[in-house]
Chains A and B, each alone.
Chain A
Amino acid sequence: MKDASHYIHHGLADATLRNFQTFMPEFTTADQQMLLHYCEVRKFPKKAKVVQAGEVDDYLNRVLTGRVRKYVRVHKREQTLQLATEGHVVHSELSFLTRRPSLALLETLEPTVLVSLRYDKMEVALEKFPHGERLGRLILTAMYIKKDERRYSRASKSLRKFFLDYRAHHPHMLQRVPQKYLASYLNIKPETFSRLKHLLYRRRRETSG
């Protein structure tokens, strides 16, 4: 299998480097090439299961292109936990880190390309890579902060403000992700979601008029 370093000329390198440098300034192009040797590129069609419930998730993924939905089945309902898009990290954290069967499922919403680091290769990279442990810690910290910010944001804002802020930060999600998944992810009832969307159109009309 080709490792991800073959994709260095496909825009992957620049984006990845910028991403790493935001939390580790001394991260170099050479470091990055070395790290990409440990990674692989995985391609999925639309509606493919990246991780099934009950299966151990072996990969830490970063979305290169496409959309991935992470969710959990609750009785007959599906609760969306994450909607990942270009540049986002997505996997089943609990399963990956504890090596136990996953409760969460990962499914593509569009044809999707992931840059993935397999668990056993990550362990080698942590050992061999010059700042492996440090990079690992910083990636985990960044993931923690993102989730914490989202939970804090939901708890501290009105529903209306939360929705408008989400829309402002993720302008494409409303077009590219089915409404029911967005509503579930944002923990908003589908009826309320429609009403909030209506609010956006009214605002737009008012501004243009």
Chain B
Amino acid sequence: MEPCILIGIHKGQLEDLYHSDRKWEKFGRILTAHFLLQQEWQILNDARFSPRERFLYFFEQHASLLHRLPQKYLASYLKIKPETFSRMKHLLRKNHKKTNAGT
């Protein structure tokens, strides 16, 4: 969606690294646990949040993405209908005002 710079490691080289030392095996186990935790959070939040809550929760953590990504992708990712997504955008503005007023 934009020009990107990625840092990557080839699967075979990652395996070699894991095999080279017990410390790297441990690193791999902790890294994998981290991915599993992220995935589990997503599953749990999908299950317990309404579309409105998902919307607010997501933009609380990734506020800048609203302007960087096409809305249709964001809506699809959050499993919210595009029309509903548009209507929800005002929630962010209101929230913003409320926060400002509080400070």
Chain A residues near B (Cβ < 8 Å): 72, 74, 79, 81, 93-94, 97-98, 103-104, 126, 133-134, 136-137, 140-141, 143-144, 147-148, 151
Chain B residues, CB < 8 A from A147: 36, 39-40, 43
Query: Does B71 lie at the interface of the complex (its beta carbon under 8 Å from any beta carbon of A)?
Result: no
Chain A residues, CB < 8 A from B29: 126, 133-134, 136-137, 140
Number of cross-chain contacts by CB at 8 Å: 57
Distance in Å: Cβ of B44 to nearest Cβ of chain A: 6
Chain A residues, CB < 8 A from B91: none
Chain B residues numbered 22-55 whose CB sits less than 8 Å from any CB in chain A:
22, 25-26, 28-29, 32-33, 35-37, 39-41, 43-44, 47-48
Consensus secondary structure, chain A interface: helix
Chain A residues, CB < 8 A from B37: 93-94, 97-98
Q: Are B26 and A133 in contact (CB-based, < 8 A)? A: yes
Chain B residues near A (Cβ < 8 Å): 18, 22, 25-26, 28-29, 32-33, 35-37, 39-41, 43-44, 47-48
Which 5 residue pairs across A and B have the least CB separation, nearest first?
A133-B25, A137-B29, A140-B32, A79-B47, A136-B29
